Structure 1
Amino acid sequence: MRRFKKFLKITSIIFCFLLIGVYTLFVYFSSPDSDKDLLDKFDKFPQKPIIQHQKYKNFNYRTLKIIKDTNLPTLVFIHGTIGSCSNFVKYMSDNELLEKFNMISYDRIGYNYNDKYHVQESISFEKDLVEDLVKNIPSEKIILVGYSYGGPIALAVKKKLNKIILLAPAVHSKVEPMPWALNFYKWKLTRWLVPKIWKEASKEKISHIRDLQNFEQNWKSTANTITSIHGNSDWIVPYSNSEFLQNQFPKEQFELITIQNAGHDLVWSEFPIIKQQLLNLSN
């Protein structure tokens, strides 16, 4: 009996340390990079971006920019929930893409490093911020690339642009999944365990269904041509989101590119396919 109690005690201690370790790693890898850590990601590459801290209304936010030639089109990356401008480092450090495009990525409000602001839970606000961010770029040279929650933000921009690229866009309220893990944020007893950045993501996720209902029946009102790239094994933002869009647009305005067996991490796992689609725009 004593041996069994001792075994339980040791097992409990090991389990607690493992749990603390997993939680620490979870917080570390999901937190936005500092400016220094972000720039360090480009150390091995000849083309270095610049970081700017910009202001929109009463909010400060961070942008990551590579502007080489104002005659080139500009890719503007919009991250999802949870995310940051660092999600697109692989794209912004690729030599072939850098030959063809200027690039801008930015932290949405609430997702910056040590951000003192809260997410705005508003596609309309996010759309207005994007339009302010690109106001000095000729519209015919702007290509919006919206990933996940960034998809409806890009799609909400009605101004005629060069192109809109959607990556696994969350655009249809009826198929928006609510992961069980959101309960850790909903329950007051466990909310303190949720890292700040995930609290912001949880708030945005919960309100997303309601906010989408203000837009989803009017996506077709955009004048822009759209390509949606989506994996048919995506359970976080189901493939049916892109099928919903496909049913709203004429064939000449909307193209759906299906990646077989790809999940929601396609922005990283399917980089070669997405990169080629972007390069096709420069031909």
Structure 2
Amino acid sequence: MNKLKKLLKYLIGFLFLSLILGYFSFYYFTKPKSDEKILSEFKALGIKPELTYETFRGFTYRKIKITNDKDLPTMVFVHGTIGSSLDFIGYMSDSVLAKKTNFISYDRVGYNYDDEHGTQASIAFERDLLQSITKDLKRRKTIVVGYSYGGPIALADTNDYKKTILIAPAVYHKVEPEFWFVNIYKWSLTKWLVPNIWKQAGKEKLTHKEDLQKFDNIWTENKNDIISIHGTEDVIVPFSNSEYLLEQFPEKQFKLVKIPGAKHFLIWEDFDIIKEQFLKSLD
């Protein structure tokens, strides 16, 4: 009996320590990085981006721009929840892609470093912000890329672009998962434990399902050529989101790229497949 008690004690201690380490590790990798950290990461890759702060409707956001050649098309990246402009650094620093396109990536409101503003938890607001970023670009030489919660933002933008690329897009309210841990953000006893960046993500998550319903019947107003890249084993944003879109759009307009076995973090884990689709879109 004493051995069992000792074993349980060690097991509980191990689980508690693992929880604490997991908490701080996840926070470290998801917290927004400073300007200096971002520039140093690009510098290590031999790239000098243009980092600026822009204003939209009184909200300030951070934007990264890489101009490889002014005559090339531009890819504009929209990150998910939690996410940042650095989510796409692998693509923005790729030497093959750099020969074919310029890049813009930005931190959505609420996800900037030391952001004094909260996320607006509104696809319409995010769409309008995206359109303000692309307004000075040549539309037919612009490719908008939306990952995860960035997917519906890109899809809601009906400007006439060269292409719209969705990666694991969270667009269908009927299959939106409800994760128990979001309640930690809701409960007054535990809310204080949640870092600000996670609170922004929780706010978006809690309103996303209802917000999606406003667009359910108007996704098809987007007349661009659309590609949706999705993993079949994605439990955070189920593959059925892309299957739903496949039913909504004409075959000649919409292409579904299915990655068997891929999960939600495919922008990192399935880099080569996604890069290949980017290159095809740029041709």
**TM-score, normalization: structure 1?**
0.94
Matches within 5 A, 1:105-254: 105-254=105-254
CA distance in 1 between counterparts of 2:243 and 2:11 reads 49
Q: Deviations over 1:19-40 (max 9, x none)?
A: 4333222221110111111122
- Deviation of the 1:7 alpha carbon: 8.4
CA distance in 2 between counterparts of 1:217 and 1:268 reads 32
CA distance in 2 between counterparts of 1:237 and 1:18 reads 26
- Deviation of the 1:68 alpha carbon: 2.4
Q: Deviations over 1:124-183 (max 9, x none)?
A: 000000110111111111100000110110011111111000000000000000111111
- Deviation of the 1:260 alpha carbon: 0.5
CA distance in 2 between counterparts of 1:171 and 1:131 reads 19
Q: Could you say which residue in structure 2 is the equivalent of 1:31?
A: 31
Q: Deviations over 1:16-68 (max 9, x none)?
A: 55543332222211101111111222233233212111111111100111012
Q: Could you say which residue in structure 2 is the equivalent of 1:104?
A: 104
CA distance in 2 between counterparts of 1:221 and 1:134 reads 18
CA distance in 2 between counterparts of 1:218 and 1:121 reads 19
User: Is the partner of 1:228 in helix, strand or coil?
Assistant: strand
CA distance in 2 between counterparts of 1:11 and 1:214 reads 48
- Deviation of the 1:223 alpha carbon: 1.4
CA distance in 2 between counterparts of 1:59 and 1:42 reads 26
CA distance in 2 between counterparts of 1:194 and 1:142 reads 37
Amino acid in structure 1 at the alignment position of 2:181: A
Per the alignment, do residues 49 and 217 of structure 1 end up closer, same or farther by CA in structure 2, a change over 3 Å counting? same
Per the alignment, do residues 19 and 135 of structure 1 end up closer, same or farther by CA in structure 2, a change over 3 Å counting? same
- Deviation of the 1:12 alpha carbon: 6.5
CA distance in 2 between counterparts of 1:39 and 1:23 reads 26
Unaligned 5+ segments in structure 2 are none
CA distance in 2 between counterparts of 1:147 and 1:169 reads 6
The alignment status of 1:75 with 2:75, answered yes or no, reads yes
Q: Could you say which residue in structure 1 is the equivalent of 2:276?
A: 276
Per the alignment, do residues 149 and 2 of structure 1 end up closer, same or farther by CA in structure 2, a change over 3 Å counting? closer
> Identity rate of aligned residues, in percent?
50
Amino acid in structure 2 at the alignment position of 1:123: I
CA distance in 1 between counterparts of 2:149 and 2:52 reads 23
- Deviation of the 1:249 alpha carbon: 0.7
User: Is the partner of 2:190 in helix, strand or coil?
Assistant: helix
User: Is the partner of 1:256 in helix, strand or coil?
Assistant: strand
Amino acid in structure 1 at the alignment position of 2:213: Q
CA distance in 2 between counterparts of 1:94 and 1:253 reads 28
Per the alignment, do residues 38 and 3 of structure 1 end up closer, same or farther by CA in structure 2, a change over 3 Å counting? same
Counting matched residue pairs gives 283
Per the alignment, do residues 253 and 8 of structure 1 end up closer, same or farther by CA in structure 2, a change over 3 Å counting? closer
The alignment status of 1:55 with 2:55, answered yes or no, reads yes
User: Is the partner of 1:278 in helix, strand or coil?
Assistant: helix
* Bigger mean CA offset, 11-20 vs 177-186: 11-20
Unaligned 5+ segments in structure 1 are none
CA distance in 1 between counterparts of 2:5 and 2:241 reads 53
Per the alignment, do residues 214 and 20 of structure 1 end up closer, same or farther by CA in structure 2, a change over 3 Å counting? same
Per the alignment, do residues 259 and 10 of structure 1 end up closer, same or farther by CA in structure 2, a change over 3 Å counting? closer
User: Is the partner of 1:262 in helix, strand or coil?
Assistant: coil
